[in-house]
Structure 1
């Protein structure tokens, strides 16, 4: 990817102006199906979440922007910025909009690349953790492509459904370089 292409795909801090987009994307069926919280999130729930995260030093909420168009959200949480530096992350995309434009795969690769770079080059983490649901085989394959390692699966009950949650992690020394 050349410099111009890289600048066309960026992460920026989310703002109050992004809250409605974040909620609409998070409530898309595709995203709810692969999330621990699968119910439709209300505006009140989302407002409480935004109020809690926007000034929390252990969290970052970023918008993924492609070609000047916001199309995804990356969250970093449980940030521990003393040595060893670690944190957890997750993301979701505007699945419906990207699918309609035929941009799902490039956006998915882009958001993962940008998020991993931000974690290690922006936050200077030593380890990046996350979770993936067991049935989400496509994301599990993509995680392996980015060199995330899966931990021991565990069963959880969430929103009235039993799910298999698989922890993932990526050490700074194991990450792919661009």
Structure 2
């Protein structure tokens, strides 16, 4: 299998992509959190994202039409200068190929065209790889009241006991 991203197709998602995205959410995280973890990931990307947020989201397919990555992002309805990346997934076989960075760069270009100057996203403080990745992409970690081995996090951000690392990137 090649991991040459020039052979990939980047396109806007449709509702028909929902089962494949759900498959990725179940299988691409190497069993993280067991069945409960897979269900939590699936619940984070309900069908509505592929019905109502398609113009700023992406799916990426290989030459055989197999889903290798997706990004769900949108323009903020309430903050005219901001956009938000809600969820990103990359098939483990394609991690490190540049497909993730390519999706982010395409998202940045789309939101710049829409007049947005800031992008926000988040991750859990235990996901050190995600924190490092977002920093490499130029995101800044926002201050937080918690410290996870040098990583600031905001306590109870997504509910009681659910701290999050908050990122912002100025475009």
TM-score (norm 2): 0.69
Rounded Cα–Cα distance in structure 1 between residues aligned with 2:167 and 2:136: 13
Give CA deviations for 1:50-75 in whole Å, capped at 9, x if unaligned.
1x233436974321234554211100
> Which residue of the partner structure matches residue 134 of structure 2?
143
After TM superposition, the structure 1 stretch with the greater mean CA deviation from structure 2, 114-123 or 81-90, is 81-90
Rounded Cα–Cα distance in structure 1 between residues aligned with 2:88 and 2:58: 9
Structure 1 residues 168, 59: closer, same or farther in 2, change over 3 A?
A: farther
Question: How do 1:1-178 and structure 2 match up within 5 A?
Answer: 7-28=6-27, 30=29, 33=32, 38=37, 40=39, 49-50=46-47, 52-56=48-52, 60-67=56-63, 69-77=66-74, 79-80=75-76, 84-89=80-85, 90-95=87-92, 98=93, 103-106=94-97, 109-111=98-100, 113-124=101-112, 125-151=116-142, 152=144, 153-156=153-156, 162-172=161-171
Rounded Cα–Cα distance in structure 1 between residues aligned with 2:164 and 2:90: 20
- The structure whose residues are more often strand, as a share, is 1
Please report the RMSD computed on the Cα atoms of aligned residues, expressed in angstroms: 3.6
Partners of 1:65 and 1:71 within 8 A in 2: yes
Gaps of 5+ in 2: 145-152
TM-score (norm 1): 0.67
Please state how far the C-alpha of 1:157 moved relative to its aligned partner. 7.9
